[in-house]
Structure 1
Amino acid sequence: MEVRGLPAPVPDAAGPGDAGYRAPFAPDGPAERTASSFAAVLARVAGAPTALVHRTEDGERLTLTGAAGVPAGWARVGHPPARSTLAGLVLMHQHPIISADIAEDPRVPRYAPALELGVRAYVGFPIRGDRQQIAGVCTVVDYRPRQWSPRELAAVDEAARAYAVFVAEQQRADTQRRYLDTLLQSMRIGVAACDEHGRLVFDNESIRRLMGTTLVGTSVREWARRGGPLTDVAGRPLEPDDLPLLRALRGESVRDAGILITTPGRPTRTTSSDAEPILGADGRRLGAVLTVHDVTERRRAERFRDVDRAVTEVLAHADSVRQAGPQVLAAVCEGFGWPYAELWLVDQDADTLVPAARYRAPGTAGDPPGEPGPHDAVTGAAWRTGRPVWAGETPGSPATPLRTSLAVPATSGDRVLAVLSFGAGAVDDPADPLIDLLAGVGAHIAEFVERRRADELSLALTHSKQEYLALIGHEMRTPLTSISAYVELLRESDPASVVDELPGMLDVLSRNSASLRAIVDQLLDLAALDSGHARMAREPVDLTATVRAAVAAVQPVATAAGVTVALDLRADAVVPGDAGRLRQVVDELIGNAVKHTFGTGLVTVLLERPDPAAVELTVADTGVGIPAAEQDRLFERFYRSEHTRQHRIPGNGLGLAVSRAVVEAHHGSIRLLPAPGPGTRITVRLPAGALPDRPAGQGHTAGSAPS
């Protein structure tokens, strides 16, 4: 028997540790069906009943990829080791094996499956790859001994070479497919494709993470539906036919289609999609491909930048916090789609928050809160701690009306000057970048408040100098001129001739000297209060009785002027402090209200306790009021409004400045509030508890006015 190309004998097959041989064979894929068709052709040209095609990926293990004419009994073989097979010998020794009768060939392994299957004649040629490595084996067998003719051997050899070309092309195609698949899977851009029937045939890892699911094999409509609701950037739901992939399937080239993707339990993502039809060589549409860019971070950065720019622009052109506040809140809320916001200024002396601005989106229901109290934990916590405070839902929670509250302090150094408070249904933006942005907005506001206070102080000092000169020129020069004139008259007159006129002259001298003394006393009083040297009693003061007495004292003047004074005492109020000083403040407020109200006007005096820790006195009138442009100057020394001067109402512009110094010495606040109609409304807020130890006037700057 002739066996060509068989190397030295090999050991008998061993056990399970040998490389495996997988059989029997059942073609179930395109590659296997192609290899089986190839084997059928090989069997015919070689005149053999059975032909086999094996593949190897690593040069050790064999896989049967194609077969023709395989008897049914081959299923009994199972998975023998490759070293026990004749194809395994070709693989191991990398040479053709040709045997006329393997049963008589001593070099064939004793336990070779071919012997059990009744194979007698065998031919196996190696399939070589493009680098001459063994890529597989082409085999023909017969079940009777036979001599293989040169033509038959050449046919098997040529088949092995031809299949090697096929394998090389298949490997190149597989390599390209692997490269492409790896490229698409590694991309941060989402990619999906559908066939001509709108059925999804591919999606990469990025788009699966974005959509939260993979549904390859389902329709595009079903894929989009299960991935969560899809809307455009304005929040309008997308109809299935408006999906970019289906638009491309209809032949449209889609560019930069903005889509919001919302999946349960995850923040909404903003995407930009492109889609193109896939065309065959004949122009027929074979399907469509979609690319999805997650632009959430980029759009967030743009939105943050726009909000910061808008806030900066507002503060650059505003004259006061109260003017800038509504515009700042609107810029933030409109940028993030939040329905409600407030700006509170910190009154350091009264240790309280004062509302400065409020924003409410159109269509927002519910009443805004009033003064922040114990119930307003978020705003109060941000004020007390100097740190941003979240309450309610965390960022990324489903949208519901006002489920999230956020308060951010506006700080200068270690002082909190204001608090920004926001209400939202849901906050999709991550907490850290959002808080950083709002902290920046707070820093802008704090800087603006500090700058405005410095400007106001400088302006107040200038006004003080001017008003002081005016005071010297008018309020003090007028009585001095009168006194000087009468003194000269007395000096030049015959004593006997002025005896009858002397009482009248003395009255004039007394009245003018008293006027001068009052001005000097107020100036000295104000200076003492500012410096903290004013003597201030510390004892319980029945403010209810003080207010009642002040109203009774002014009643005759009011009645003579035709003005009604209405007293509304809603609570008994006892505050710690100086009774004389507090009576001074009450007299000033009620007296001013009566002087500035004409005809059948009304002055209302209200005393109440808005919370257990505070007492509020509000004096409102229906008088001439204060021009809007001058309201910030109301408590400056020497300030007299345009309306006051026009109506020639007497005064020197020191009373309210002294009142403010007294109130602040009691750790309270005094402020002008918007009046519901014509006139003026001023509120004094005093602590009802024990006063802390602090020198009178500390914290008050001469000439400053609240923003």
Structure 2
Amino acid sequence: MRLDEPGGAVETAAEPGLPVPRPSDGLLTSGAADKIAELVARAARAPSGLIYFIEGGDRLCLAGAYGLPGLREDAADRPIKGSLAEVVLTGGQPLVVTDLATEPRLPADSPLRAVPGAFLGHPIRDETGEIVGLSCAYDTAPRSWTPEQIAAVAAAAQVSTLVIAEQRARHEVDRQRRFLDTVLDSLHDGVTACDADGRVVLANARMREMWAGERATAAVRDAEAVEGLTDGHGKPIGCGDLPLFRALHGEHLRNEELAFEGRARSTRYYLVDAQPITGPDGRVTGAVQAVQDVTRRRRAERFRTCELRVTTALAEARGIEAAAPRVLEAVVSTLDWAHAELWLVDDAAGVARPAARWSAPGWADDIDTPSELPYGQGLAGRVWQVGKPLWIRDVGRPQSLISQETAATSRLHTALALPVRHGLEPLGVLCVFADTIEDPEDELLALLSGVAALLGQFLDRRLVDDLQRQLARSKNEYLALIGHELRTPLTSISAYTEILGELGPDALATDGPALLEVIDRNTAKLRHIIDELLELSALDTGHAAMTMAPVDLADVVRQSVRRTAEAIDGSPLELTADLPDELMLPGDRRRLQQIVDNLLGNAVKYSPDGGRISVRLTSAGRAAELSVSDTGIGVAPDEREKLFTRLYRSSMVRDRAIPGTGLGLALSRAVVHRHHGTIELSDHEGPGTTVLVRLPLDAR
């Protein structure tokens, strides 16, 4: 605003609530400037007082005013040049004007020459002596200014200097505090400081976020400050063990370990640095600590340990029976969850069965695991169906895929299940359970997906290893067959052919037919062996023709049972059958007939001393189950796994010289596999053997 304009002063600021412009550099607040302007007016016995500050070097900004009516808003910010203020600010000395109309320092064309009035101004300096503004009194009539009044305006300017220095100091303190707060709040670590009495005077945003609620600002002697906290060994700590308290008593701490267990047993881990704060006299005036949340780092380390334990277990185990419990133990202990299960898929039967389970201490007797789960049912069955991980936040809620009874009695909550597969082929399901409610975590899902992948690779690799061992054994047994099963009939054929060549006409007529019958019988035996080998090779390579159509398996079994009953009529064997009226499934009738005939033929062959043969056909879930049991010579336990490999004959069979090629069960297994089924020796009470075949009822 220009002081050489009539009516250019701002209206009175006597009313405290009246807003006035504030200096842009924050030298004085408007309230303080108004009070100083009032002091100027009263001390100079003038009707008006004004406080201005320099803005941008060439303009005046009104900071405070008193006793001037008629405010013009555009007069609050005016150029310095050409005004009375320019005289004061340029000369750096007080300006005393008794009559504006006759003032020689006013420009000749100044409108103030036509307006009566008096002006008294004094420069305002900051603590460094630099002129920063103007303190002035204004009267609407010419008058003289006494030395006391001039001194009063000068004193008001000095007061302004002191107030400016104080407010600048406060402004600088506030600026530094804001700067420090911004720096502290940008840190990833939590920072807390306390005074000499242990009262927390500073806690940055990260600290308040990590230790929510009043814990972050609780005094070091409050019980609330240590609730739920333990040291690195899991031992609860007291107030005297807090790093901030110890630092307050002179200790310097580095990488002090702390852990905090929340209400949902979610444990967080911290590393703390703390040290005392000393004053100029060396006395401790407080303490400060920096808290780093290392939960993710600790979890990553545990995850790496889990992966190492899983890899080691799989590398050292010869089979899934030995590897699975160790894998589940590693998973449960790493996650600090309650229970884990590994389910293996029986594709032919359409069910998943538990292969192993592991529970944390105190949980083993509380968790009931079903003996099997059909495809699409239960947690394992559903994951098998959808082929992707499922995270259930609380299994106790309806539609959680876990029975309400199991969830209630086991006290389980969160469940995570993942498919175990090799490529796209489902092999099993890995399930883990927690006794708390956990939200989905990408890191945890990634870890267990990796464990499931390792299990899939292990299962597939073991299958390949088994096939390689079977191939090597089959090769050796094939060579043995060449040396025995093929050589024996060939020797007979060769010998009898030589005898025929040496017989005379009369002997040839007499003995020739018998010799030719022996040759023909051995030739047929060779042809049968060769045909079975060729057929087995075609089935294994997928080249054998399969005519798939709806087949009544009950009728197929019924026909085989009838033929077998006719064949053993009069022998000491008893044959019973438990068959449904009809059981339809997709298959090759001729091949299925071949399986049943082979199983019944083996039961008869390997029961040379008589006994009982039982045939049973049922449906279980989405699979047909055919069992053929006998009370014959049985199979040694260590030979059960080898029985379905080609050319293998058990030691009991060889000891009793029971004829055969060792190809029948291998052929049966190949046909069953082409029907997407399984064949195995099942548990059998007493002497004898039970062979169980499962075939899917649905087309695959």
- Per the TM superposition, whether the score is higher than 0.5 is yes
Partner of 2:417: 406
Deviation at 1:7, TM superposition (A): 8.3
Partner of 2:287: 288
Partner of 2:625: 616
> Does residue 530 of structure 2 align to residue 520 of structure 1?
yes
Deviation at 1:654, TM superposition (A): 1.0
- d(CA) in 1 for partners of 2:606 and 2:275? 77
Aligned to 2:694, the other structure's residue is in SS state strand
Partner of 1:69: none
- d(CA) in 1 for partners of 2:350 and 2:620? 13
Change (3 A) 1:583 1:136: farther
Deviation at 1:308, TM superposition (A): 3.5
Counting only pairs closer than 5 Å after superposition, residues 131-210 of structure 1 correspond to structure 2 as 132=130, 134=132, 147-148=147-148, 172-210=172-210
Asked whether the equivalents of residues 679 and 693 of structure 2 are also in contact (C-alpha less than 8 Å), the reply is yes
Asked whether the equivalents of residues 325 and 356 of structure 2 are also in contact (C-alpha less than 8 Å), the reply is yes
Partner of 1:29: none
Asked whether the equivalents of residues 571 and 607 of structure 1 are also in contact (C-alpha less than 8 Å), the reply is no
Counting only pairs closer than 5 Å after superposition, residues 462-611 of structure 1 correspond to structure 2 as 462-485=472-495, 488=498, 515-530=525-540, 531-534=542-545, 538=549, 539-542=551-554, 545=558, 573=583, 575=585, 577=587, 581-582=591-592, 584-586=594-596, 588-589=598-599, 607-611=617-621
Deviation at 1:373, TM superposition (A): 1.4
Asked whether the equivalents of residues 391 and 415 of structure 2 are also in contact (C-alpha less than 8 Å), the reply is yes
Deviation at 1:477, TM superposition (A): 1.8
Asked whether the equivalents of residues 572 and 609 of structure 2 are also in contact (C-alpha less than 8 Å), the reply is no
- d(CA) in 1 for partners of 2:477 and 2:282? 89
Partner of 2:126: 128
Asked whether the equivalents of residues 620 and 682 of structure 1 are also in contact (C-alpha less than 8 Å), the reply is yes
Asked whether the equivalents of residues 90 and 137 of structure 1 are also in contact (C-alpha less than 8 Å), the reply is no
Code of the aligned partner of 1:387: K
Partner of 1:423: 433
- d(CA) in 1 for partners of 2:526 and 2:213? 88
Deviation at 1:213, TM superposition (A): 3.6
Partner of 1:688: 697
Alignment partner for residue 660 of structure 1, among 656, 669, 672? 669
- d(CA) in 2 for partners of 1:679 and 1:192? 78
- d(CA) in 2 for partners of 1:380 and 1:590? 34
Q: Which moved more, 1:564-573 or 1:444-453?
A: 564-573
Change (3 A) 1:568 1:147: farther
Partner of 1:696: none
- d(CA) in 2 for partners of 1:97 and 1:536? 118
Deviation at 1:188, TM superposition (A): 1.6
Code of the aligned partner of 2:294: V
Asked whether the equivalents of residues 375 and 384 of structure 2 are also in contact (C-alpha less than 8 Å), the reply is no
Counting only pairs closer than 5 Å after superposition, residues 36-115 of structure 1 correspond to structure 2 as none
Partner of 1:369: 370
Code of the aligned partner of 1:295: V
Aligned to 2:289, the other structure's residue is in SS state strand
Deviation at 1:389, TM superposition (A): 3.1
- d(CA) in 2 for partners of 1:98 and 1:645? 132
Partner of 1:51: none
Aligned to 2:177, the other structure's residue is in SS state helix
Code of the aligned partner of 1:192: T
Deviation at 1:422, TM superposition (A): 3.3
Partner of 1:275: 274
Asked whether the equivalents of residues 627 and 642 of structure 1 are also in contact (C-alpha less than 8 Å), the reply is no
Change (3 A) 1:656 1:161: same
- d(CA) in 1 for partners of 2:262 and 2:7? 65
Asked whether the equivalents of residues 346 and 353 of structure 2 are also in contact (C-alpha less than 8 Å), the reply is no
- d(CA) in 2 for partners of 1:403 and 1:649? 58
Counting only pairs closer than 5 Å after superposition, residues 324-403 of structure 1 correspond to structure 2 as 324-345=323-344, 350=348, 352=350, 355=353, 357-362=355-360, 363-364=363-364, 365-374=366-375, 376=377, 378-393=379-394, 401-403=412-414
Change (3 A) 1:136 1:501: farther
Change (3 A) 1:664 1:153: closer
Change (3 A) 1:18 1:62: closer
Code of the aligned partner of 2:553: V
Deviation at 1:665, TM superposition (A): 3.6
Aligned to 2:271, the other structure's residue is in SS state strand
Deviation at 1:421, TM superposition (A): 3.5
Change (3 A) 1:312 1:218: closer
- d(CA) in 2 for partners of 1:238 and 1:181? 30
Counting only pairs closer than 5 Å after superposition, residues 667-678 of structure 1 correspond to structure 2 as 667-672=676-681
Deviation at 1:184, TM superposition (A): 1.0
Deviation at 1:278, TM superposition (A): 3.5
- d(CA) in 1 for partners of 2:282 and 2:603? 89
- d(CA) in 1 for partners of 2:662 and 2:680? 16
Change (3 A) 1:322 1:106: farther
Asked whether the equivalents of residues 422 and 460 of structure 2 are also in contact (C-alpha less than 8 Å), the reply is no
Q: Structure 1, residues 584-610: CA drift from partner, whole Å, max 9, x if none?
A: 434544665787799999987664432
TM-score normalised by structure 2 residue count:
0.67
- d(CA) in 2 for partners of 1:57 and 1:238? 60
Deviation at 1:468, TM superposition (A): 1.9
Partner of 2:47: none
Deviation at 1:471, TM superposition (A): 1.0
TM-score normalised by structure 1 residue count:
0.67
Aligned to 1:273, the other structure's residue is in SS state strand
Between the two proteins, the alignment pairs up a number of residues equal to 627
Asked whether the equivalents of residues 376 and 385 of structure 2 are also in contact (C-alpha less than 8 Å), the reply is no
Q: Runs of 5+ in structure 2 lacking a partner?
A: 12-17, 23-27, 37-42, 44-50, 77-82, 104-118, 138-144, 396-409
- d(CA) in 1 for partners of 2:146 and 2:677? 119
Change (3 A) 1:677 1:274: farther
Q: Which moved more, 1:54-63 or 1:449-458?
A: 54-63
Asked whether the equivalents of residues 536 and 577 of structure 1 are also in contact (C-alpha less than 8 Å), the reply is yes
Aligned to 2:646, the other structure's residue is in SS state coil
- d(CA) in 1 for partners of 2:84 and 2:587? 111
Q: Structure 1, residues 496-534: CA drift from partner, whole Å, max 9, x if none?
A: 899999999899767755644543343344345444545
Deviation at 1:393, TM superposition (A): 4.3
Partner of 2:109: none
- d(CA) in 1 for partners of 2:683 and 2:52? 91
Q: Runs of 5+ in structure 1 lacking a partner?
A: 1-5, 26-34, 36-45, 47-53, 65-73, 108-120, 140-144, 693-707
Percent identity of equivalent pairs: 36
- d(CA) in 2 for partners of 1:207 and 1:373? 51
Code of the aligned partner of 1:338: W
Asked whether the equivalents of residues 382 and 409 of structure 1 are also in contact (C-alpha less than 8 Å), the reply is no
Partner of 2:398: none
Aligned to 1:542, the other structure's residue is in SS state helix
